Amino acid sequence: MPEAFEQAINLQDLELLAQHNLDQNAWEYYSSGADDQITLSENRLAFARLKLRPRFLVDVSRVDTRVSLLGLNLSSPICAAPTAFHGLAHGEAELASARAFQKFGSIFTLSTLSNTPLEGVGQAAGHHFWFQLYVYKDRELTKALVQRAEQSGAKALALTVDAPYFGHRELNERHHFQLPSHLSVSNSGAANDMGSQDANQGSQLAAYARRLLNSRLTWADLEWLRSITHLPILVKGILTAEDAVLALEHGASGIWVSNHGGRQLDSAVSTLEALPEIVQAVGDQLEVVLDGGVRRGTDILKALALGARAVFLGRPVLWGLAAGGEAGVTKMLNVLQTELELAMALSGKVTLADLKPDLIFRSIF
């Protein structure tokens, strides 16, 4: 591995290496948000604004980060959010990312828009992964995806509900994002060709979504999805207590607090800010997870203290993959895991169950 990779000690180092290794098309696709990128920035700033209340004189010689998530026993609450097109970062694409998470003992979530067929990713993940689902206008195609996910060992489905249309990602529009000719949307059968007719008319991906994905998605579709699968279903993209309650009423197994990495509705609330009202709304009835802006062990500490069961990483997985393939993803995970364990110890917390809202400082000003 190059010296710069060996010397990387945090996620920012890996991000800089990734930027160096990626071409402009890939870098802008991975890194950009919608419109003025306010929500993209707020996902990080929300963590920075929260302060911690550490406790001392606690035996922290052993810190335990194990957690149970929808019945799965994990070594850590650090999991992979679904991100499209890992082939832009590395030749082994989603296979490398899935192997890293499998060895780490956590969950890899495969995107519908992956460059690698889900059967291969299921094998690389040890038949221990989640599958993120976009609902196509072609319901039979959607049903086939669910069945393939089940057969490949998926343990849950993450139904993405915040993208009836793809957000206005200006860099992708201005520079006409498109997949290189050797990559495709490999899971969608007859719809796997993103097409070239829109390549010079904005983002190729946005055109693909308008053409094929279902913009009429409603709560009735969640009930339909429940009727065709035995897998637990998380509703991904929830930002309000009201929608969390509706998800519970319509049979969801979990709530995934997400604003799509700041790539959909700009000025939407950050995920960390949205988390407390959602946890309060569903209580212990549903497990709640979060993505968006997690870059440090202390970020994980804050999210878990506010009620998230686990955190899911999007861009950091891609930075690790672009920086060093499977080894890069593994390094990213180990860096964050070490930071989490240290942050817990320095806060006087020994297990994840010790992380409660009283860890968060509430200003009186």
What span, in angstroms and rounded, lies between the C-alpha atoms of 52 and 249? 34
pTM here is 0.96
For residue range 68-82, list pLDDT tens digits in order. Answer: 999 999 999 999 999
Residue 74 has what pLDDT?
98
> What mean pLDDT comes out for the span 212-222?
95
Query: In the chain, what percentage of residues exceed pLDDT 70?
Result: 96
What span, in angstroms and rounded, lies between the C-alpha atoms of 204 and 85? 13
What span, in angstroms and rounded, lies between the C-alpha atoms of 304 and 55? 16
Residue 190 has what pLDDT?
54
φ, ψ dihedrals at 253, nearest 5°: -95, -20
φ, ψ dihedrals at 254, nearest 5°: -160, 160
Residue 193 has what pLDDT?
66
Residue 173 has what pLDDT?
94
Query: In the chain, what percentage of residues exceed pLDDT 90?
Result: 90
> What mean pLDDT comes out for the span 215-236?
97
> What mean pLDDT comes out for the span 100-105?
98
Burial of 251 (0-12, 13-18, 19+ CB in 10 A): middle
> What mean pLDDT comes out for the span 135-154?
96
Q: Are 271 and 293 in contact (CB under 8 A)?
A: yes
Q: Look over the chain and give the mean of its residue pLDDT values, rounded to a whole number.
A: 95
> What mean pLDDT comes out for the span 35-40?
98
Residue 364 has what pLDDT?
54
Residue 197 has what pLDDT?
44
What span, in angstroms and rounded, lies between the C-alpha atoms of 102 and 124? 8
Instruction: Single out the catalytic residue among 86, 90, 128, 260.
Output: 260
Residue 188 has what pLDDT?
80
For residue range 229-275, list pLDDT tens digits in order. Answer: 999 999 999 999 999 999 999 999 999 999 999 999 999 999 999 99
The total of other beta-carbon atoms located within 10 Å of residue 301's CB is 26
> What mean pLDDT comes out for the span 118-134?
97
Asked whether the predicted pLDDT for residue 199 surpasses 60, the reply is no
* Amino acid making up residue 239: L
For residue range 177-197, list pLDDT tens digits in order. Answer: 999 989 999 998 655 667 654
Asked whether the predicted pLDDT for residue 2 surpasses 90, the reply is no
Residue 365 has what pLDDT?
45
Q: Structural domains in the chain?
A: 3-359 (3.20.20.70)
Q: What is the DSSP string of 100-150?
A: HHHHHTS-EEE-TT-SS-HHHHHHHTTS-EEEEEPPBSSHHHHHHHHHHHH
For residue range 49-72, list pLDDT tens digits in order. Answer: 999 999 999 999 999 999 999 999
Triad 30, 31, 34: Cα angle to 5°:
105
> What mean pLDDT comes out for the span 87-113?
98
Assess whether 175 carries a catalytic annotation. no
Residue 198 has what pLDDT?
47
